Amino acid sequence: MRTQVAIIGAGPAGLLLGALLHRAGIAAVIVEQRSADYVLGRIRAGVLEQTTVDLLEQAGVGERVHAEGLRHDGTELAFGGGLHRIDFQALTGRHVMVYGQTEVTRDLMAARAQAGLPTWYEAEHVAIADYDGAHPLVSFTKDGVRHEIECDFIAGCDGFHGVCRASLPAGAITTYEKVYPFGWLGVLADVPPATEELVYANHPRGFALCSQRSRTRSRYYVQCASDDNAARWSDDAFWDELRRRLPDAVAERVVTGPSLEKSIAPLRSFVAEPMRFGRLFLAGDAAHIVPPTGAKGLNLAASDVGYLAQAMREHYGERSDAGIQAYSQRCLARIWKAERFSWWFTSLMHRFPDTGEFGARIQRAELDYLVGSTAASTALAENYVGLPLA
Ligand code: APR
Ligand code: PHB
């Protein structure tokens, strides 16, 4: 097989890149190790920056986001028993959309199938080669048959555990990592959300988050030990712990119900540099991970492929490699801003083993400063809603 861009991974990064390239008339093949149902079955976050919504529109899948997504002009910080609203719209003129990553993936998959674009699911033993030469190769086995794709470029959108970054020689890449000493126990339930907007809670018992997928489906999280086990938590135990960590005004409005999904997510900050190796580009979780506190994971994956699609349009459309040359630096500038914000917000809202009484008072002082200062809450708002793609 021959194509222009071979994309490894059919997560949001790979699928969005495929859609943007299709719109630009650039041929691409996606190779995914799992089945489409498996990819769709993964429960992930769901807060979209305006920049991500713009890219989904560019890719031709903006319709359902606008029809079913929930526009949020702000968020609530809960601490000291009270609620404090951060008004994104007033402070930045921008807002976010609450729309599940699963739905983004579903829309992109449906559009790709409808356009009849080549996607190989359940591809085994995926391997890449010659990405530092003129004709990179992707090979894989499907139903016992070995296939080879010759291409101009490889897009490694294969996530943190993917083959692309793992295929790089040790010295070619530098990684930066921070693992947090706690996890997030998350519950998805078909109950109406307790609040209009998201609530991020700093509490002596640990962090809690009230989020949502729709007016009838909610997503809640509580900070837990990183070695905890979701099976140890009954639904009742989860709801009780959640309510303990919320101000009374919110706790009394939490509607409980059976969990559809209950799991623990580890918290980690990770960046791999650079993100281009000859004709191989890394994008999304293949190159970086953020703790979910800042809701940046999906948005960073989208901006990476936004830059990559732009570079590919310039290469094929204008015979210019300026975008290709600048890809890694452009992505990393945006990634480190999001990494800093996500680390800062995580540090502010969680209780660490060594936080102690002094640390708790410092967190409180910073929260009081944050909600009392237009400059400080504007900085939070600006980072949360995200910046336009530079
Ligand atoms: N060969 C083919 N496909 C692979 C391989 C491989 N060797 N390894 C992994 N994959 C596939 C995975 O099965 C997955 O479907 O690559 C895809 C990577 O998708 P994601 O992990 O969702 O990563 P990405 O598309 O970058 O999306 C990032 O996902 O984890 C969230 O918070 C994160 O929201 C962010 C988003
Ligand atoms: C979610 O809805 O799952 C969610 C929202 C905001 C976050 C993290 C997760 O910061």
Q: Ligand 2 in contact with 292 (CB < 6 A)?
A: yes
Residue 142 among the catalytic residues:
no
Q: Ligand 2 in contact with 101 (CB < 6 A)?
A: no
Ligand 2 pocket mutation pick from 188, 211, 345 by most atoms within 8 angstroms of CB: 211
312 band by pLDDT with thresholds 50, 70 and 90: very high
The answer to whether the CB of 21 falls within 8 A of the CB of 308 is no
- Average pLDDT across the chain, whole number: 97
What is the model's pLDDT at position 43?
Answer: 75
- For residue 97, which ligand has an atom nearest its CA? 2
What is the model's pLDDT at position 316?
Answer: 98
Q: Residue with the nearest Cα to atom 3 of ligand 2?
A: 45
Report the distance separating Cα 123 and Cα 14, nearest Å. 15
- Please say if the pLDDT value at position 175 is more than 90: yes
Ligand 1 pocket mutation pick from 108, 285, 304, 305 by most atoms within 8 angstroms of CB: 285
Q: Ligand 2 in contact with 193 (CB < 6 A)?
A: no
- Please say if the pLDDT value at position 105 is more than 90: yes
Closest CA to 285 of 267, 304, 266: 304
The average pLDDT across 356-372 equals 98
Residue 384 among the catalytic residues:
yes
Report the distance separating Cα 69 and Cα 91, nearest Å. 22
Instruction: Indicate the residue type of 285.
Output: D
Whole-number Å distance, alpha carbon 159 to ligand 1 midpoint, is 4
Whole-number Å distance, alpha carbon 212 to ligand 2 midpoint, is 8
Q: Ligand 2 in contact with 188 (CB < 6 A)?
A: no
297 band by pLDDT with thresholds 50, 70 and 90: very high
Residue 72 among the catalytic residues:
yes
Among the atoms of ligand 2, which is closest to the Cα of residue 186? 3
* Cβ neighbours around 248 below 10 Å, total: 10
The average pLDDT across 316-340 equals 98
Report the distance separating Cα 74 and Cα 65, nearest Å. 18
What is the model's pLDDT at position 45?
Answer: 86
Report the distance separating Cα 29 and Cα 137, nearest Å. 12
The CA-atom distances, in angstroms, between 80 and each of 53, 92, 131, 167, 208 are 35, 26, 54, 49, 13
The CA-atom distances, in angstroms, between 97 and each of 51, 53, 241, 293, 384 are 11, 8, 28, 16, 12
What is the model's pLDDT at position 189?
Answer: 97
The answer to whether the CB of 285 falls within 8 A of the CB of 160 is yes
DSSP letter string, 378-389: HHHHHHHH----
Note the pLDDT tens digit of each residue in 6-52.
999 999 999 999 999 999 999 999 999 999 999 998 878 899 999 99
Whole-number Å distance, alpha carbon 50 to ligand 2 midpoint, is 16
What is the model's pLDDT at position 387?
Answer: 87
Residue 84 among the catalytic residues:
no
Q: Which two tokens stand for residue 71?
A: 């526009």
Given the residues 292, 315, 327, 350, select the one marked as catalytic: 292
Residue 192 among the catalytic residues:
no
Instruction: Indicate the residue type of 164.
Output: C
**Interior/surface letters 58-93, b for 16+ CB within 10 angstroms, e for the rest:** bbbbbeebeeebbebbbbbbbbeeebbebebeebbe
266 band by pLDDT with thresholds 50, 70 and 90: very high
Closest CA to 279 of 141, 118, 146, 150: 150
Closest CA to 72 of 53, 44, 57: 53
Q: Ligand 1 in contact with 158 (CB < 6 A)?
A: yes
The average pLDDT across 127-133 equals 96
Q: Tokens 């002596």 map to which residue?
A: 204
What is the model's pLDDT at position 358?
Answer: 98
> What are the two backbone dihedrals, phi and then psi, of residue 189, each rounded to the nearest 5 degrees?
-150, 145
- Please say if the pLDDT value at position 303 is more than 80: yes
- Report CA Rg, the chain: 21
The average pLDDT across 303-320 equals 98
Note the pLDDT tens digit of each residue in 107-118.
999 999 999 999
Among the atoms of ligand 1, which is closest to the Cα of residue 160? 21
The average pLDDT across 337-361 equals 98
Closest CA to 224 of 259, 269, 262: 262
Q: Ligand 2 in contact with 222 (CB < 6 A)?
A: no
